[in-house]
Every structure is written in structure tokens, then in C-alpha cells.
Amino acid sequence: MSARLAGRRVLLVIGGGIAAYKALELIRLIRKEGGAVRAVITAGGEKFVTPLSVQALCEDRVHTDLFSLTGESEMGHIQLSRSADLVVVAPASADLLAKMAAGMADDLATTLLLATDKEVLVAPAMNVRMWTHPATVANLETLLRRGVSVVGPEEGPMACGEFGPGRLAEPAAILEAIVARLDGERILAGRHVVVTSGPTHEPIDPVRYIANRSSGRQGHAIAAALARRGARVTLVSGPVALADPAGVAVVRVETALEMRAAVLAALPADAAVFCAAVADWRVEAQGRKIKKTGAPPALALVENPDILAEVSRLEGRRPRLVVGFAAETGDLVAQATAKRARKGCDWIVANDVGAGTGIMGGAENEVVLITEAGAEPWPRAGKDAVADRLAERISGIFQ
Ligand code: C5P
């Protein structure tokens, strides 16, 4: 299977028109190429395809309403408009093109088309007279001038019985237009990167375990950001409640020992990013459930292998770039600089996880990148943005 869109995210706006049914095939084709689709259907679009069928194909919630409270609290329309690498409008009706040209924002689709900072690709579909009407011609000229790109329409017999240009481009042609726009920045194409993410669970006995508060959000975001740049990513993840990032091979593990084995099995790699909060200790094997006996049990702890340090010192198989994380609760730069030397890695991404920072398990991160050149503080940002910046830096090494 080719995966020319692995890790790429498309926000698909489905406008009104009989051709809306072809959007379903388009979603299937994008996903077959490894891309993720988030869909928005206009009120007109909903007359031709149901949110349920779109949702089933996307495997993601479909958005229809600007003022949906749950929608706004889960993800605001501004965030939605920027949560993709490309916005595709298919079919783009004459009305939708007119609203885009005029900068109107009276529903979810038009609002996010006005709010987006991403490239927009439109696939018009309408009756031939509507397509050739001077109003539509002028609207399209305006949109092209603003950098919107167009695929189709094609010429042929139309649902309304007329013949001429106005038919929605075939889904395969729209797919190629999407690939052409998203395939260019894949700086890490041909590179393999191993990423660890999440906590580890260390069993105390068959029912209990030791864990930590890591959510895996940062590591998963890094895996996704690397995949978007074309890398083949192996994500070795401890137990998390997150969806697998698009276009990433996920290996699920529970314990530090399993994580170590999975990382070593995934090598060789060009780069490795160790974001997991690996438990420092495991409990010596307990085959049976520990019973209450009156006195608390003494747990014998054994130190876990340090995967980052081990991979950093591998002879022959060491990835060219090894990146570790350092979660500290004080003296951040000094601690992380010492950790970089101790572990033998190239970079350390250090963050303060002290009480009140909301970083461990939260949506944002504030990090300092420690390299050979010194400490580089980055502004506080969403974990996705931090991941993008780190992926960009990693790409720089392999350019
Ligand atoms: O020493 P400390 O646990 O603070 O180091 C954190 C860094 O080391 C992280 O990059 C983490 O993923 C990695 N690590 C590891 N194996 C361990 C412990 C930490 O790979 N057993």
C-alpha cells in the first residue's frame, strides 16, 4: 500500500450538491494513503450525505454546527480551522465559492474557511450555467488571486441533464491534487525515527501496579509531527488513552523491560526520541496477589534499565540523533545539562513538572532545549506546537 499521505491531516468541507456523495469516496482514498480526515458538512451538504456515513468513514466526529456547545468546548472553530495540513472543499458549490470570495462567515464551514491559516483547495461542482456565470467566474478569480487552488471541474453529462463543465473532479483526481500539495515538505522521507511515549506500568502483583501521571500527549504529538514530515515512525507507547497517530506504527508495551525490548527491536533508526516517563524501578516478581496480613508488605524494588542511556551508547547501531527528555522540579537547566552528559544523548528537552505548572498530563508544555551549544528556552505552547518545533529541528539535522 502506498502511503503518500501518512501522518497528513485533511480538513474536508463537504458543500451542498448532488456530487457530495463523491466526498465519501474521497475520504476513503485519503485514508487509504495513510492520511487523516476531519470533516465539516454544510447544511446543504447534509441534504445529500448523512453525517453518520461521513463519520463512519473518517472514524472521527463530524462537525456541522458553529454554535454546537460541545463542539466549541472540545475544539473551537479557530483551532479546528488550523488542525489540518490542508483544507479541501469538495464539492464547492457556487454559493460556497461566493461566500468564500466575499469573506462571509455565517456557518461553521464558512467561518473556518475565513479563520484558517492553511492552504485551501476547492473542487467546484455545479450546473454548467452557474459555473460560467460572470459572478462565479469573478469569485473564482478572486479566490485564485488569494492563493486558493482549484481542481476541476470536469466536463461531461450532469445530474441536471445538461452537458458541459461543472462536474466535480473524480475523487482520484482530487486525491492527486491533495498529494501534490502535501507531499512537498516531507524532509524526513526515507528516515526511520523511534519515539517512546507515555508511562510504564510496573506490576506489584497480578492486580496492582506502579504508574505515573504521564498522558503520552507530548510523545504522541512528536510521533505525528515526524510522520507529517515523511519519517517512518515507530512509536513505542506505554498504556495511554490516546488514539494512534495517523501514519505511525505503534508498538504497545506495559513495562520498562518491554519498552526496552521493543525499542531495541525497532532499531536501526536515524533518530530516537525518548519521551516516555519510564518507571525507574520495578517490583521484584510477584506471582500471586499480595494478601492483607496486618503488616504492610515490603516491596523489593529493582532498578529498571535506562533505555535512553543504553541506546545513546550503542556501538554501531546508535541512531545519528538521540533526544532525551528531562522532567525536573527545580534547577532545570543545570539538572538537564548534567543529565545530557550522564546519558550520552545529543539533545535533552527539559521541562519543569513542578506542582502548579499543569504540564504533566496537561495540554501545554514549556521546555528548554539543551544541545551541545547550550540552553535554548522555548515559549510555553500547546504540546502539538512544541512537537512541530522539535520535528522541525530534527528535520534540520537530516536536510
Ligand atoms: O533519568 P530520568 O528518568 O529523568 O531521564 C529521563 C529521560 O530518560 C527520558 O528521556 C526518558 O524517556 C529516559 N528514560 C529511559 N529509561 C529509563 C528512564 C528514563 O529511557 N529507565
Give 46-59 pLDDT, tens digit per residue.
999 999 999 999 98
Nearest CA residue ID for atom 13, ligand 1? 308
Nearest CA residue ID for atom 21, ligand 1? 306
Report the separation in Å between the CA atom of 319 and the middle of ligand 1, taken as the mean of its atom positions.
Answer: 17
Q: How many helices (H) and strands (E) does the chain have?
A: 15, 21
The minimum-distance atom of ligand 1 relative to the CA of 323 is 10
Report the separation in Å between the CA atom of 347 and the middle of ligand 1, taken as the mean of its atom positions.
Answer: 13
User: Among candidates 355, 214, 356, 363, which has minimal Cα distance to 279?
Assistant: 214
339 annotated ligand binder = yes
State residue 365 phi and psi, 5-degree precision.
-145, 150
289 annotated ligand binder = yes
Give 359-385 pLDDT, tens digit per residue.
777 788 899 999 999 999 998 888 988
Provide the pLDDT for residue 276: 98
Is the pLDDT score of 184 beyond 70?
A: no
Cross-strand bridge partners of residue 381: 365
Nearest CA residue ID for atom 6, ligand 1? 326
Does the predicted TM-score (pTM) go above 0.75? no
Could you tell me the CATH superfamily of domain 9-182? Answer: Flavin prenyltransferase-like (3.40.50.1950)
Provide the pLDDT for residue 341: 97
User: What is 31-82 written as a DSSP string?
Assistant: HHTT-EEEEEE-HHHHTTS-HHHHHHHHTS--B--TT-HHHHHHS-HHHHHH
What are the residue ranges of CATH 3.40.50.10300 in the chain?
192-397
290 annotated ligand binder = no
- Please give the Cα distance from 256 to 302 (Å, whole number): 12
Return the active site residues: 160
Provide the pLDDT for residue 69: 43
Q: 3-state DSSP: the chain helix, strand, coil percent, rounded to 5?
A: 35, 25, 40
Nearest CA residue ID for atom 5, ligand 1? 326
Give 58-87 pLDDT, tens digit per residue.
987 788 776 664 555 556 777 788 889 999
What are the residue ranges of CATH 3.40.50.1950 in the chain?
9-182
Q: Would you call 233 helix, strand, or coil by DSSP?
A: strand
Integer angstrom CA distances of residue 187 from 106, 275, 364: 38, 22, 26
Give 214-265 pLDDT, tens digit per residue.
999 999 999 999 988 889 899 999 999 998 887 788 999 999 999 999 999 9
- Give me the CATH topology for the region 192-397: Rossmann fold (3.40.50)
Cell triple for residue 315?
556501538
Mean pLDDT across the stretch 111-130?
93
Provide the pLDDT for residue 122: 95
Report the separation in Å between the CA atom of 278 and the middle of ligand 1, taken as the mean of its atom positions.
Answer: 6
Q: Would you call 259 helix, strand, or coil by DSSP?
A: helix
DSSP category for residue 251: E
280 annotated ligand binder = yes
Mean pLDDT across the stretch 95-118?
94
**Identity of the residue numbered 113:** L
Report the separation in Å between the CA atom of 308 and the middle of ligand 1, taken as the mean of its atom positions.
Answer: 6
Cell triple for residue 336?
538537564
**H or E, element range at 242:** none
**What rounded mean pLDDT belongs to the chain?**
90
Provide the pLDDT for residue 175: 93
Which residue among 267, 274, 349, 365 is best mutated to probe the pocket of ligand 1, counting the most ligand atoms within 8 A of its Cβ? 274
Give 1-33 pLDDT, tens digit per residue.
467 888 889 999 999 999 999 999 999 999 999
**Identity of the residue numbered 164:** G
Report the separation in Å between the CA atom of 225 and the middle of ligand 1, taken as the mean of its atom positions.
Answer: 21
Cα angle 107, 180, 9; round to 5? 45
325 annotated ligand binder = yes
Is the pLDDT score of 124 beyond 60?
A: yes
Please give all residues whose beta carbon lies within 6 A of any atom in ligand 1, as ranges. Answer: 196, 256, 274, 276, 278, 304, 306-308, 324-326
Provide the pLDDT for residue 1: 47
Report the separation in Å between the CA atom of 300 and the middle of ligand 1, taken as the mean of its atom positions.
Answer: 21
Is the pLDDT score of 160 beyond 80?
A: no
The minimum-distance atom of ligand 1 relative to the CA of 256 is 21
- Please give the Cα distance from 209 to 284 (Å, whole number): 12
The minimum-distance atom of ligand 1 relative to the CA of 311 is 20
307 annotated ligand binder = yes
- Please give the Cα distance from 81 to 63 (Å, whole number): 11
Nearest CA residue ID for atom 9, ligand 1? 325
Contact indicator for 256, 272 with CB cutoff of 8 Å: no
What strands, in cross-sheet order, belong to the sheet with 232-237? Answer: 249-252, 232-237, 192-197, 271-274, 321-328, 347-352, 367-371, 374-377
- Please give the Cα distance from 273 to 346 (Å, whole number): 10
User: Among candidates 143, 138, 15, which has minimal Cα distance to 88?
Assistant: 15
Q: b/e map of 320-350 (b: 16 or more CB within 10 Å)?
A: ebbbbbbbbeeebbebbbebbeebbbbbbbb
Mean pLDDT across the stretch 296-313?
95
Nearest CA residue ID for atom 4, ligand 1? 326
Cα angle 272, 213, 308; round to 5? 25
